[in-house]
Amino acid sequence: MIFVYITDSPAGNVAEFEKAYYEGVIQGNDVRHELVRISGYDGTIVDVIGAYSSLFMAHALDGVVTVEASGTLNLPDDVTQVVLELRAAGARTAMLLNVEQSDGPIHPTVSFSSELYEIAIGIAQTGLVGRVSATTDNGEDVTYSLGTLNAHLQTRLSINNEGELYLSAPANSGVYTFQVVATSVITQATGTATVTLAVEAVTVCEDGEIVVPPLIIIDRDEEQAHRNLVVLDPTQQSGCRYTMTNRWPTNENWLYVDENGLHANVIDREHPSIAFMALSQVQVELILHCENDSPGRTKRSQRTDWLGPYDYGSNKWILTDTILYNSRRSLVNLIVNDINDNDPIFVGKEHEPVVVGYPTDELEERILPRSLVELKATDADVGKNAQLRYSSAESSLAVAPTTGFVHVRSGANLVHNQILTVSATDQNGNGRTGTIQLMVKLLDLSHIAVH
């Protein structure tokens, strides 16, 4: 369905809908739709235009437009969609309402990837501090909001519609517990999860000695630069700076330090130096130096057993061995989260089209092949992003979704030199797709050697 608007707004008109198109559902007399925002309009009247507009009414309040039934929704039985146009002060938008036959509203289940998210940050850290993720079982998008926060967090903690938690200013040290809420955009179903945010202060001993954590573990998505992984506290660490040594890999400049702390450049999780790991990660050593240190205080430990290529200790999940005590040294492990940025690639793609033989009807009576071909694809991503599902839109083919066996459907007539396409889609059929072309060569009795 395509909506085309050619507008001729009056001079000086500033009213504007946030989007040109919204979706919703009708169940009985219940109308539910995406959040409709309008700016530059302080009125309440919104006109509804369309074939069934007399059955609906709309009004605006505080910049939000709500569409509802004006009475009983007596729609014809064969109507599955209702298209409405909303107008207010020259602003226009469209709304598509899908009619669902049900005795009562059916709400999807909204589920978070975890019931409890635990986030630990330094007392000076701001910006992105963590991420939550929720999905619905009917495929609706969700928006995120925060539950009740104490007065301190209310002024500095926020969440966006990607589930990313941000601090606009440093938080006081302590452990905070709060709820995050995910709401489906159309049906307004909700789900909740608990977040604990631990804000760790810099440890200062009685003699004034500053102590840093021996091991810091952080996770961030690949293919993005990230600032403020480790932040220097401008109050308790005034006059201090970090020096950094790459522990793994030793020859990449992915992480760096400046006067504010530790940051990351863009990292590709599929880089050979970390792609082989069960949990791809980067490790650096930070040494804290302060202006009032004695000359001997900043001397670094003399270790010669740095990790060599593809030899990163016995633990494949957290890249570290025993950590010897040093109050000014932190080992930072940055776990590089995989994003779905690679298409599946079929084995033999470089020889495309792949030639496959199949018997003619005459030969098929003597030789019935198990399948046309068995295909295999790989994906450079990991986890769910590498779970493949095979398929084909060809009417003559049936593809086993998990094994890649390609069969010819009963009654299908293949043609000599016919080109057929088979697909592999990651995220178990919901992600990126790679294809391969097959060229069919029909075989008859003359192609068979009998001994």
Share of the chain above pLDDT 90, in %: 40
At 310, the pLDDT band (50, 70, 90 cuts) reads very low
CA angle, residues 291, 295, 298, in degrees to nearest 5: 75
In the numeric block, the tokens 């992984």 are attached to: 229
Tell whether the model's pLDDT for residue 106 goes beyond 80: no
> How many angstroms separate the CA atoms of 357 and 355, rounded?
7
The mean pLDDT of 165-186, rounded to a whole number, is 88
At 109, the pLDDT band (50, 70, 90 cuts) reads confident
Q: What's the Rg (C-alpha) of the chain?
A: 30
For 269, the 3-state DSSP assignment is: coil
Higher pLDDT residue, 335 or 367? 335
pLDDT digits (tens, 9 = 90+) for 39-58: 989 899 999 999 899 999 99
The mean pLDDT of 223-238, rounded to a whole number, is 88
The per-residue pLDDT of the chain, averaged, comes to 83
Query: What pLDDT does 308 receive?
Result: 38
Query: What pLDDT does 364 receive?
Result: 63
Rounded to 10 degrees, the C-alpha dihedral 277/279/280/285 comes to -100
Tell whether the model's pLDDT for residue 251 goes beyond 50: yes
Domains by residue range for the chain, with CATH: 16-100 (2.60.40.60), 110-200 (2.60.40.60), 206-299+307-337 (2.60.40.10), 345-447 (2.60.40.60)
Tell whether the model's pLDDT for residue 76 goes beyond 50: yes
Check if the beta carbon of residue 197 is closer than 8 Å to that of residue 119.
Answer: yes
At 328, the pLDDT band (50, 70, 90 cuts) reads confident
Beta strands in 70-141 (DSSP E): 81-88, 91-100, 110-112, 116-122, 127-131, 134-136
The mean pLDDT of 369-391, rounded to a whole number, is 88
Instruction: Extract the tokens encoding 27.
Output: 């169940």
Tell whether the model's pLDDT for residue 294 goes beyond 70: no
Q: Which residue, 317, 321, 126, is CA-closest to 230?
A: 126
Tell whether the model's pLDDT for residue 77 goes beyond 80: yes
Tell whether the model's pLDDT for residue 279 goes beyond 90: no
Q: Which residues contact 423 (CB under 8 A, 6 or more apart)?
A: 390, 391, 392, 393, 433, 434, 435
The mean pLDDT of 381-402, rounded to a whole number, is 90
For 273, the 3-state DSSP assignment is: helix
Tell whether the model's pLDDT for residue 9 goes beyond 50: no
Asked which of 150-159, 198-207, 342-351, 416-425 is least confident by mean pLDDT, the reply is 198-207
Query: What pLDDT does 229 receive?
Result: 92
pLDDT digits (tens, 9 = 90+) for 402-447: 999 999 887 788 899 999 999 999 988 989 999 999 999 988 776 6
Query: What pLDDT does 448 receive?
Result: 66
At 118, the pLDDT band (50, 70, 90 cuts) reads confident
Tell whether the model's pLDDT for residue 206 goes beyond 80: no
Higher pLDDT residue, 181 or 357? 181
Query: What pLDDT does 200 receive?
Result: 74
At 257, the pLDDT band (50, 70, 90 cuts) reads very high
Check if the beta carbon of residue 301 is closer than 8 Å to that of residue 268.
Answer: no
Number of Cβ within 10 Å of residue 369's Cβ equals: 15
Query: What pLDDT does 450 receive?
Result: 54
> How many angstroms separate the CA atoms of 394 and 407, rounded?
11
Burial environment of residue 402 by CB neighbours within 10 A (0 to 12, 13 to 18, 19 or more): exposed
Query: What pLDDT does 354 receive?
Result: 92
Query: What pLDDT does 199 receive?
Result: 83
Tell whether the model's pLDDT for residue 105 goes beyond 60: no
Beta strand 405-408 with 21-27: parallel, antiparallel or unpaired? unpaired
